[in-house]
Amino acid sequence: MDFSLTEDQQAFAASARAFAQGAFAPNAAQWDEQSIFPREALRQAGELGFMGMYTPESAGGLGLSRLDASLIVEELARGDTATAAFLTIHNMATNMVGRYCSAATIEQWCFDLASGEKLASYCLTEPGAGSDAASLRTRAVRDGDDYVVNGSKVFISGAGDTDVLVVMLRTGEAGPGGISALLVPADSPGIAYGKKEEKMGWNAQSTRMITFEDVRVPVSYRLGEEGQGFAIAMEGLDGGRINIATCSIGTAQQALEEATAYVKERRQFGSAIADFQATRFKLADMLTELVAARQMVRLAAHKLDTKDPQASTYCAMAKRFATDTGFEICHEALQLFGGYGYIKEYPMERHVRDTLVHQILEGTNDIMRVIVSRKLLMDGALEVIK
């Protein structure tokens, strides 16, 4: 396997790095402190194609591979983790619209989504259906040319600030086969948004509960066929796990670079703390683990791009490993800053706060372990690692 990047891939990464350092990084602390949703910065990202990275070109996107997209996301996360993470959620929802909606609905919504002129939220989690997504209860009942939607969703990123909701809901019987997906305009009558949750991190994106009360949605806004929603959701989550793992890697890379620069300058006992062997060993471990996590994520993205039958397992392994590793690298980087790492004047404490939630969302890391161990016990290690 060739681990080198093509000229095009290097250009994607360089473009994303320049944009993140110019548009995200200088504002990240203010967005976090004041809980500002950076809509204008996201619109600017759309001008570069970053709001529809792997959405089909026929629907206004760039049509990139998941590997190419991960190179971009990694650089964006170095500028601001929370904003990059929302951007990936928007990309997931936009790709679903571009792949599964009717031509008329794609024309009406997807081009604006892919350009960043409109923003999308993805609505799967419910108060009683988190890790057990197949048990969701929000229901859509057919009434002529419309569905009437009732129920609620929680922990929805961007809720109240976005234009479109891609909602997983029940149109049939219990279980995954009764779930469908709808595009719901975010300002539809009957939609109510809960309070903006006060969170430990990810403060640059709003998180709210959404309640649907007799919300009418045209049947033409359905994604795919009735009963196809759970398959669409799971397909989206494989890519979502790559996305959030990549956000962890990008943030960890930034934290490691900041810590490396700091230990060269910080002097104690007459020497730079970079001269102490304990510091050097810690930096060596952090870099080694970062490279291992990055390669695992890129391998999983490659498996997804090539439709490898083991792709879901690799996505779960990569998500578990990279989000755990990314958080630990940020934590170790904070330790190298000493007391300064705990002060908000420095970005290190924000890196730690923003990466912690990556171990929870897109399926908790314990759920990733369930997925991987189930595959291992069913098929054996040799089958998994092919």
Residues marked as catalytic: 362
Which 3 state secondary structure label does DSSP give 171? coil
Which 3 state secondary structure label does DSSP give 124? coil
Pairing between strand 139-143 and 120-123? unpaired
Q: Can you tell me the distance from the alpha carbon of 60 to that of 385, in angstroms, rounded to the nearest whole number?
A: 36
Distances (CA, A) of 267 to 195, 262, 264, 280, 347: 46, 10, 8, 14, 20
Phi, psi values for residue 143, rounded to 5°: -140, 90
Q: Can you tell me the distance from the alpha carbon of 332 to that of 285, in angstroms, rounded to the nearest whole number?
A: 10
Q: Can you tell me the distance from the alpha carbon of 315 to that of 310, in angstroms, rounded to the nearest whole number?
A: 9
Residue with tokens 């983790």: 81
* Burial profile 43-82: b = 16 or more Cβ within 10 angstroms, e = fewer: ebbbebbbbbbbbbeebbbbbbbbbbbbbbbbbbbbbbbb
The span from the first CA to the last CA of the chain, in angstroms, equals 13
Q: Would you say 102 and 218 are in contact if contact means Cβ atoms under 8 Å apart? A: no
Across the strands, what pairs with 156? 208
The whole-angstrom distance between residue 347's C-alpha and the CA centroid of its chain comes to: 21
Instruction: Tally Cβ neighbours within 10 Å of residue 375.
Output: 19
Which 3 state secondary structure label does DSSP give 240? helix
